[in-house]
Structure 1
Amino acid sequence: MWLQQIRAWMRRIPLLDRWLLGELIGPLLFAVAAFTVVSLSLGVMFELVRKIVESGLPVLIAIQVLLQRLPSFLVISFPMATLMATLLAYSRLSANSELTALRSVGVTATRMIAPALVLAVLMTSLTFVFNDVVVPRANRAAEVTLRRALGKAVATEKGDNIVYSRFGRVEQPDGSTSKGLVQLFYARQFRDGTMNGVTVLDFSRPGFTQMLVSKSAQWSKQDAKWEFLNGQILTLTPSGSTTSADFDRYLYPLSAAPIRIAKLPKDANDMTVAEALQAEELLRQAGDIKEARRLQVRIQEKFTLPTACLVFALIGASLGAKPNNRTSRSQGFGISVVLILVYYVLSFSFSSLGVKGTLPPLLAAWSPVLISLAGGGFLLRQASR
């Protein structure tokens, strides 16, 4: 029944669009396979082979890790494959004078590349779903599988060099108050619910500076405070004198925010958009402006990466639809690689400017897309002449 409904829906699509889409599907599947194999080999396969030889990683586990890492490389391949597929398909049609025949009956270049843009929209949606839903879970699963196979501890809660800053109203010596740093929390390491190598600077008391140093600390849900173990408190008084006290156990009033920061994945690719937004808000509240800005750029890139499918489809179809274009498969692959390299160099450059704060995150992430769309529009006008 559902097969008949699909056939009925397909019949509603104009014959011209069905024909052009049919010409695009083959090169698209070929390009996805080609780019995925190349990127997977360079990115994972060689490393897994080295672990098999040097660390005794079982071959079946290596294959499992390879499959779990596959979605992250498919996401990279989709935009590149869209470019190559549109370039090859339209170049072949142009070389066979089929596009010339369409022009002779009044079909414009814009109408000819419309199916490519529709296919690109579908690829954009597929890329976004993979990147936001499948890739984060698959990457985490691959890390757990690999560490277990190599006999390494798998910590569900881990982190290194955790820094948390709390800002609030600070009383000045003259009695006035102003916003400033109240507490600075640092832990060398976070493993399975325990902070190790903890140092806390406290500026909440007017004129006093207090430093708490502890070997370990844990969050006490019952007391809603931090429980510091085996440490020392140093206090600098307004008169300049110093007092110190050792302790075995000390409860300190501070929120559980350092734990939430420690649990954040280091790589934005391992987060969904919702998780990345929560992480950005947490980092901003903690006063880590640079890291929050970097994450803002990465959040925008989670949208610009799928949009690259649409950009590449416009560029590839416009180049391929030029009259008397004769591009072979090998030439198409070479042109695709060059265009992809130019786009990603441009994207990396603007991304760096966004992380540094030279450009707003939104502008830094979307500028390469807008510039490339403008270039694609220029190529489309050239193909329409």
Structure 2
Amino acid sequence: MSAVRTSFRSSPVGRRLDHYLVSEVLPLLVGGLLVVVVLFLLAALVEVLAPILAKGANPLLVAKLMAFKIPDAIGRGLPIALLFAVLLAMSRLSSDSEIKSALAGGVGPVRLMVPVMVLALGVSTVSFLNSELLVPRAESQVLQTQRDILLDNPRVLVEEGTVFKDALGRAIYIDQILPGNELRGVRIIQMGPGQPAREIMTAERGLIEPGSATIVLYEGQRVTYRDAKPVTAASFEEARLPVQDLQASLNGTSDEVQPVNLPLGELRARIAAYRSQSLPVYREETALNRKFAEPLAAVAFGFFGVTLALYTFRTGGGLGLVWVMMLTFVYYATWSVFRIMGEQGALPPVIAAWAPDALYLIAGGVLLLLSTRR
């Protein structure tokens, strides 16, 4: 029997089986990826972008923002799409007795996994390269586009009590924005990290010049401080205040690139800098582990999908589309819970990042053991 299986591995029949299995999974992978990416983008459109469109945001800038979110959606969607594809393809092969025919023809369970696992490794590689090369650049463009939306029409982002920041460490408070980009109740505070205010500018009226990063203040006052005590005070009729790298978030989105979307070298450098200052690094260390765990989830999914198909074949059961979808999105739910716990320090970063993968590997191992005993 071992000789038969050895010859089968390199035989034309074995290669045809590999091609056949990949051809079954690959179209479902592409289709599943398209569905997942569209779902992620639709969720962003409904929760974040639709409200700012309703306030008059430039549709072209919003479309540009969505386009720059595609690499991140692909990175998150690739492993999930593979799990969906493997479960659906192997379920069909099991229900049509094609797995039975393969096993009867001398194909062992391990041999059946080989093409799926090779495909899973390919998906993991593509996912990692995407997260390392494309996502950091795209996320930087996302932040720049958010600033462009703000400068094009400030009303879409500003609500009463909204705070903006810029690269010079200034906090900009705006009570209200009226039609024509006119500001009311403007307060600009200059301070350093952990230090009291060094300068405060207030104005009853202001204006953000369209297409520029300049705030024009009218009928205001400027007060400087030293050791939290006022030093000078002066009134002005008009003042122009250029701002640098204005940071603005869209309805709760972040105004900075998330640690997991940074290149590896930059993320490691940030962790080292935070440690040297005795600052917590739960979020960054969780992100560092996620950089590897999330792409490699595809390998765990490939293994789990094949072993589940073998188990259902042995037991005479089957997987419907509803079960396939539930098992696919169980990962997303567990990933969300463990990620939050890791970022908050409730779990070690290694466990928080790798636990979802480990759950599918353990479940696959149990299913393989059970199926070989039947």
| TM-score, normalization by structure 1 | 0.66
The percentage of counterpart residues that share the same residue type is 24
CA pair 142-294 structure 1, distance change in 2 beyond 3 A: closer
Counterpart of 2:136 in structure 1 is 136
Is 2:299 the counterpart of 1:310? Answer: yes
CA pair 153-89 structure 1, distance change in 2 beyond 3 A: same
Q: Is the 8 A contact 1:57 1:150 kept in 2?
A: no
Counterpart of 1:169 in structure 2 is none
Encode CA deviations 1:129-172: one digit per residue, 9 max, x unaligned: 11122112112212322431442599xxxxxxxxxxxxxxxxxx
Q: Is the 8 A contact 1:293 1:357 kept in 2?
A: yes
Encode CA deviations 1:33-73: one digit per residue, 9 max, x unaligned: 12222222112366434433322423x33332222111111
Q: Is the 8 A contact 2:225 2:232 kept in 1?
A: yes
Counterpart of 1:226 in structure 2 is none
Q: Is the 8 A contact 2:300 2:360 kept in 1?
A: yes
Distance 1:191 1:21 in 2: 50
Counterpart of 2:226 in structure 1 is 232
Counterpart of 2:28 in structure 1 is 27
Aligned letter for 2:357? Answer: V
Runs of 4+ in structure 1 displaced over 4 angstroms?
Answer: 244-248, 324-328
Question: Shift of residue 353 of structure 1?
Answer: 4.0
Is 2:58 the counterpart of 1:57? Answer: yes
CA pair 25-266 structure 1, distance change in 2 beyond 3 A: closer
Counterpart of 2:113 in structure 1 is 113
SS at match of 2:58: coil
Distance 2:193 2:346 in 1: 32
Q: Is the 8 A contact 1:280 1:296 kept in 2?
A: yes
Distance 1:295 1:35 in 2: 26
Q: Is the 8 A contact 1:120 1:310 kept in 2?
A: yes
Distance 2:256 2:51 in 1: 26
SS at match of 2:296: helix
Is 2:353 the counterpart of 1:378? Answer: no
In the TM superposition, 1:1-385 aligns within 5 A as 14-44=15-45, 47-58=48-59, 60-151=60-151, 191-194=166-169, 196-198=189-191, 214-215=198-199, 230-233=224-227, 265=256, 267-289=258-280, 292-321=281-310, 322-323=312-313, 327=318, 331-332=320-321, 334-384=322-372, 385=374
SS at match of 2:78: helix
Q: Is the 8 A contact 2:139 2:257 kept in 1?
A: no
Instruction: Give the aligned CA root-mean-square deviation in angstroms.
Output: 3.3
Aligned letter for 1:382? Answer: L
Question: Shift of residue 287 of structure 1?
Answer: 2.7
Distance 1:36 1:266 in 2: 20
Return 5+ residue gaps in structure 1 as ranges: 1-10, 155-187, 202-210, 217-228, 235-243, 249-261
Distance 2:272 2:70 in 1: 30
Encode CA deviations 1:81-130: one digit per residue, 9 max, x unaligned: 11111111111111111111111122112211221111111111111111
Question: Shift of residue 194 of structure 1?
Answer: 4.8
Aligned letter for 1:372? Answer: Y
Q: Is the 8 A contact 1:354 1:364 kept in 2?
A: yes
More deviation, 351-360/372-381 = 351-360
Aligned letter for 1:111? Answer: R
Aligned letter for 1:215? Answer: E
Question: Shift of residue 192 of structure 1?
Answer: 3.4
SS at match of 1:215: strand
SS at match of 1:193: coil
Question: Shift of residue 281 of structure 1?
Answer: 1.7
CA pair 33-304 structure 1, distance change in 2 beyond 3 A: same
CA pair 309-68 structure 1, distance change in 2 beyond 3 A: same
Question: Shift of residue 31 of structure 1?
Answer: 1.0
Return 5+ residue gaps in structure 2 as ranges: 1-11, 155-162, 171-188, 201-222, 234-246, 248-254
SS at match of 1:231: strand
SS at match of 1:14: helix
Q: Is the 8 A contact 1:120 1:309 kept in 2?
A: yes
Q: Is the 8 A contact 2:339 2:353 kept in 1?
A: yes
Q: Is the 8 A contact 1:233 1:246 kept in 2?
A: no
